[in-house]
Amino acid sequence: VLETAKPVELSHFKLSVTNGIENNAYFDVYASRDGFDWELVMGSEESCGISADLQVFDIPATKSETTYNYFKLIGKGTTNDDVNAYSELKLYAAVDGATSSDEVSIADIVELYPNPAQFSFNLDLKEDSNVKILNMGGKVVFEQFMQQGVNPVDINLPTGTYLVQVISESQMITQQLVIQ
């Protein structure tokens, strides 16, 4: 789940299938204003299946003019199995009331890699931020103030899915982190 500090109009996103995976990945994209009621924005999308390069997926015009605060991508498996693996996801959106020249990618604010991770990952922050990692029950399992730039994060967490919250003076962004 990705959270934005202000409502945004999602225009498109770029997705990279994990390098070395040579099959099509299938997924849905959902958006929400409140984080509880989710609306299907794009359904049954399919990657090209042979490239680790970022692929562009445009949001349908009927959905791109609606503002949302939360976004999630739900994997539906691949042509070979039920596992989805992505190495990079970038969302592009305009802040409510902004012009298209103000479009910004969440990756322009924070990048988290590698994801999935094992014992460590990096957070590339564009601003000084407070960083929290929450388990899926909402319990904070890690919290630290980090400065702008690349910050290596050593973790000792059980295998599972976590939420990484990055809170700066200007915004809060939440990204999903998978620990293998």
Residue 85 to residues 18, 31, 73, Cα–Cα distance (Å) = 6, 21, 12
CA atoms within 13 A on the CB side of 106: 34
> What CATH topology corresponds to 110-180?
Immunoglobulin-like (2.60.40)
pLDDT at 130 over 80: yes
Domain map (residue ranges) of the chain: 1-108, 110-180
Q: What is the DSSP string of 94-108?
A: EETT--GGG-EEGGG
**Mean pLDDT, residues 125-143:** 89
More confident residue, 76 or 41: 41
Per-chain mean pLDDT for the chain? 75
pLDDT at 87 over 90: no
pLDDT of residue 151: 96
Say whether 63 sits in a helix, a strand or coil.
Answer: helix
pLDDT of residue 85: 58
Residue 113: partners with Cβ closer than 8 Å, 6 or more residues away:
87, 88, 121, 122, 124
pLDDT of residue 152: 95
pLDDT at 157 over 70: yes
Does the domain made of 1-108 have the CATH classification 1.10.490.130? no
pLDDT tens figures, 24-62:
666 778 888 888 889 888 776 665 555 556 667 777 777
pLDDT at 16 over 90: no
